[in-house]
């Protein structure tokens, strides 16, 4: 089982696109996804405000510039 944590916020078009991409990949891979709203935690908001969406796949941080179907497939088992 692949564990994915998506850090984002509401009304974030890029976050929604990544969420849709993960839903598509879930058809081929076993994925357990958790979403974290950075606006609910002041420290997360300071850390990730300009960097969202941020993904962690099985503990590995994936920067928003690296999120595409090909790089995600490489990281999923």
**Domain chopping of the chain, boundaries:** 2-75
Closest CA to 5 of 35, 37, 26: 35
* Residues 4-16 pLDDT 10s: 999 999 999 999 9
Residue 6 to residue 12: CA distance in whole angstroms:
12
What percent of the chain has a predicted confidence (pLDDT) above 90?
91
**Would you state the structure tokens that stand for residue 65, as one six-digit string?**
């510039």
To the question of domain 2-75 being in CATH 3.40.30.10, the answer is yes
pTM exceeds 0.95 = no
């Amino acid at each position: 089982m692949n564990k994915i944590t998506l850090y984002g916020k509401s009304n974030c078009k890029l976050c929604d696109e990544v969420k849709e991409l993960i839903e598509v990949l879930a058809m081929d891979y076993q994925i357990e996804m958790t979403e974290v709203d950075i606006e609910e935690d002041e420290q997360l908001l300071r850390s990730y405000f300009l960097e969202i969406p941020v993904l962690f796949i099985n503990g590995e941080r994936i920067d928003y510039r690296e999120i595409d179907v090909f790089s995600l497939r490489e990281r999923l088992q």
